[in-house]
Amino acid sequence: MANLESEQHSSEMEEMKKKSKKRARDEAKKLEQPAVDDAESEEIRATSDEELKKKKKKKKKSKKVKLEEQDNGEEEITAISDEEPKKDEKAKLEEQDNGEQEEEKETSGSGIMTNETFESLGLSDHTYKSIKEMKFSRMTQIQAKAIPPLMMGKDVLGAARTGSGKTLAFLIPAVELLYHVRFSPRNGTGVIVICPTRELAIQSYGVAKELLKYHSQTVGKVIGGENRKKEAEILVKGVNLLVATPGRLLDHLENTNGFVFKRLKFLVMDEADRILEQNFEEDMKKIIKLLPKTRQTALFSATQTSKVEDLARVSLSLPVYIDVDEGRKEVTNEGLEQGYCVVPCAKRLIFLLTFLKRFHTKKKIMVFFSTCKSTKFHAELFRYIKIGCLEIRRGIDQSKRTATFFEFIKAETGVLLCTNVAARGLDIPHVDWIVQYDPPDDPTEYIHRVGRTARGEGAKGKALLVLTPDELQFIQYLKAAKIPVEQHEFEEGKLLNVQAFLEKMMSENTALGLSAKEAYKTYISGYDSHSMKDVFNAHRLDLKDVAASFGFTSVPNVALKIDREGGRGYRSKREDAYRRPRGGRSGFRGGGRDGGRSYMMY
């Protein structure tokens, strides 16, 4: 977290105000957190009350809340102490020395970058010209180790953390292969790259398009949510390098007449562990069977699970194994400052609201939620009270998702609310904060979420994990996984005083109240699906506190389908949380207004 200084002189405040829109990612000076100012809380309540009155007068017209921005130079409020553990002068000097040593190490090739250049690879003029225009000169470790064997035609099983440059590591050999065998559209598809998510596929497609800028070979993508008919027409014309998501690729392999893939030379499976986590295991087996057996294959995965090993066994032939992270003391990126804050469950929403109120116009922030409905509700709520935000989740039209993705990429500041669909592989520049509002399923998922910031050599970023007191044991799992996290103090007295206003808004705004109820319901279902049940146990939740974190005064009367104590009747993450079993209604409901942890069948 940021170091705080004493109050600045008024002249310095005016100067900082003029430069508020200018990014200062590596700034050493931060404003001190003031004592709570109820004016801002009152402003939110007052403007929203006025909105509700207008809404009653004109029921047919929906009004947006109008919040006046404070222009008096006062500092924003934060709910967490931004103080880092204090270091004495000796420690600071040691840190500076270490920093200088790290710089020396990076230039000698022991950091994420090496001293090996792309020019040394002997690439075609067209490919090398594109790489220079992309402003790359030296290779990362995964690129230096993976590109040579891939260009020799060998299969590769690669393990590298997020942000290590894997995309170029497999796309450069793919482009060179197509160039040297003189692939043309009439030859069909020579390279297929499979990605776990639509956004990652779109990103990989963009990089491939840049690399092929001066080549004659064609590039295309097929992803879920896009117009299938148009995709089929492009495939029939001939796509030499195809980027795809598993489900849509299998659909075209089985059903698109004129899709020529019998001359496939190279298959790439990126983020293979994530592909298998999303229950695409059967799809991948079918894809492997349909594709030509004589081909080169590369499989990249941040974690080597048993499923990944099984997939590698059936798809790779005598692979070269590359692990650039072996022996590292930390598994997260070097420039990442990681912290956690223990927040009472009932105060979670106010905590997040206070945090975003301070930073949403100054920093670029990604906030992770556990479910689509929760993401949707919080986006609606924040927009209603004039905290602008974007959202990426399942259930949004693909064209809108794509537009949102590129909007956030181009943004200098702003907030993106998202599910784990945005947790893998996405290269979004200059993200300042990763906030894990809902906890990850395990340390691996934590690593991928925080990997959206501090990407690349010398990059910096901050990550904040929000935990309740009952979830504190998760920190031990993170530390066991070589993830360094420091606790930040939670100061309840510095929260915005808007809980009563939120509760009133939920009761009077029908649409927002219904959205909150759905979010509450899926949050508990998602919580119950956690794999680490010794830490995240739905039966330990205080439902009244959970309800308060969604703006309710009491526990909503909704059916909850959760696992029974002891493990019987376990439901997977992908099962519909709203589907009731046959033979009557079964589920759990909070036991009354006292919000105790009792559950009742009904």
Averaged over 496-505, what is the pLDDT? 96
Would you give the distance in Å from CA 472 to the centre of its chain?
Answer: 22
Point out which residues pair with 192 in neighbouring strands. Answer: 242, 267
Q: What is the pLDDT of residue 46?
A: 56
Please give the Cα distance from 407 to 181 (Å, whole number). Answer: 38
The winner for highest mean pLDDT among 59-63, 257-261, 557-561 is: 257-261
Residues contacting 340, CB < 8 A, separation 6+:
464, 465, 466, 467, 475, 485, 486, 487, 488
Residue of higher predicted confidence among 407 and 33 = 407
End-to-end CA distance of the chain: give it in Å, rounded. Answer: 46
Residues contacting 553, CB < 8 A, separation 6+:
503, 507, 547
DSSP, res 9: P
* Side chain identity, residue 570: Y
Question: How does 491-506 read in b/e, with b if 16+ C-beta sit within 10 Å?
Answer: eeebbbbbbebbbbbb
Is residue 326 within 8 A of residue 186, CB to CB? The reply is no
State the burial class of residue 81 (Cβ atoms within 10 Å of its Cβ: 0-12, 13-18, 19+): middle
Please give the Cα distance from 13 to 27 (Å, whole number). Answer: 15
Distances (CA, A) of 433 to 82, 156, 186, 265, 356: 13, 34, 47, 41, 11
Question: How does 444-475 read in b/e, with b if 16+ C-beta sit within 10 Å?
Answer: bbbbbbbbbbbbeeebebbbbbbbbeebeebb
Give yes or no for residue 186 having a pLDDT over 70. Answer: yes
Please give the Cα distance from 70 to 17 (Å, whole number). Answer: 12
Residue of higher predicted confidence among 549 and 451 = 549
Please give the Cα distance from 159 to 212 (Å, whole number). Answer: 26
Confidence band (pLDDT; 50, 70, 90) for 45? Answer: low
Element (H, E) at 471: none
In this structure, of 309-323, 383-397, 572-586, the range with the lowest mean pLDDT score is 572-586
Q: What is the pLDDT of residue 427?
A: 84
DSSP collapsed to 3 states, 82-117: CCCCCCCHHHHHHHHHHHHHHHHHHHCCCCCEEEEE
Confidence band (pLDDT; 50, 70, 90) for 41? Answer: low
In this structure, of 317-326, 432-441, 460-469, the range with the lowest mean pLDDT score is 317-326
Torsion over CA: 495, 501, 506, 511 (sign): negative
Among the CATH numbers 3.30.70.260, 3.40.50.2300, 3.40.50.300, 3.40.309.10, which is that of 113-323? 3.40.50.300
Residue in 293, 341, 345 with CA at minimum distance from that of residue 317: 293
Please check whether the domain covering 330-564 is classified as CATH 3.40.50.300.
Answer: yes
% pLDDT > 90, the chain: 63
Question: H helices within 535-581, ranges in order?
Answer: 543-548
Please give the Cα distance from 575 to 229 (Å, whole number). Answer: 29
What angle separates helix 510-528 from helix 499-508, to the nearest 10 degrees?
Answer: 110
* Residue 336 DSSP SS3: strand
* Side chain identity, residue 535: V
Q: Which two tokens stand for residue 225?
A: 């949510």
153 C-beta neighbours (distance < 10 Å), count: 11
- Whose tokens are 């590596």? That residue is 26
Averaged over 230-241, what is the pLDDT? 97
Strands, DSSP E only, in 372-455?
390-392, 414-418, 433-436
Residues contacting 100, CB < 8 A, separation 6+:
none
Q: What is the pLDDT of residue 179?
A: 98
pLDDT digits (tens, 9 = 90+) for 128-146: 999 999 999 999 999 999 9
Q: Answer yes or no: same fold for 113-323 and 330-564.
A: yes
State the burial class of residue 522 (Cβ atoms within 10 Å of its Cβ: 0-12, 13-18, 19+): buried
Please give the Cα distance from 305 to 327 (Å, whole number). Answer: 18
pTM of the model: 0.70
Q: Which two tokens stand for residue 260?
A: 């020529």
Q: What is the pLDDT of residue 564?
A: 60
As a whole number, the mean pLDDT across the chain is 81
Residues contacting 82, CB < 8 A, separation 6+:
1, 2, 3, 4, 30, 33, 488
How would you classify the pairing of strands 138-140 and 113-117?
antiparallel
Residue in 193, 215, 211 with CA at minimum distance from that of residue 202: 193
Q: What is the pLDDT of residue 425?
A: 73
In this structure, of 48-57, 331-340, 519-528, 571-580, the range with the lowest mean pLDDT score is 571-580
Averaged over 177-200, what is the pLDDT? 96
Would you give the distance in Å from CA 147 to the centre of its chain?
Answer: 27
Residue of higher predicted confidence among 410 and 324 = 410
120 C-beta neighbours (distance < 10 Å), count: 12
Is residue 271 within 8 A of residue 421, CB to CB? The reply is no
| Cα dihedral 264, 268, 369, 38 in deg (nearest 10) | -110
234 C-beta neighbours (distance < 10 Å), count: 15
In this structure, of 299-313, 484-498, 522-536, 566-580, the range with the lowest mean pLDDT score is 566-580
Q: What is the pLDDT of residue 373?
A: 97
Number of H helices, E strands in the chain: 20, 18
Averaged over 344-352, what is the pLDDT? 97
- Whose tokens are 């830490």? That residue is 535
State the burial class of residue 171 (Cβ atoms within 10 Å of its Cβ: 0-12, 13-18, 19+): buried
Strands, DSSP E only, in 10-159?
113-117, 138-140, 156-159
Is residue 466 within 8 A of residue 340, CB to CB? The reply is yes
Q: Longest Cα pair distance anywhere in the chain, in angstroms?
A: 73
Q: Would you list the domain boundaries of the chain?
A: 113-323, 330-564
Is residue 462 within 8 A of residue 511, CB to CB? The reply is no
What angle separates helix 141-151 from helix 166-180, to the nearest 10 degrees?
Answer: 20
Q: Is 470 left (phi over 0), alpha (psi -120 to 50) or beta?
A: alpha
Please give the Cα distance from 183 to 362 (Å, whole number). Answer: 48
Q: Which two tokens stand for residue 339?
A: 């912290």
pLDDT digits (tens, 9 = 90+) for 457-474: 678 999 999 999 999 999
Give yes or no for residue 360 having a pLDDT over 70. Answer: yes
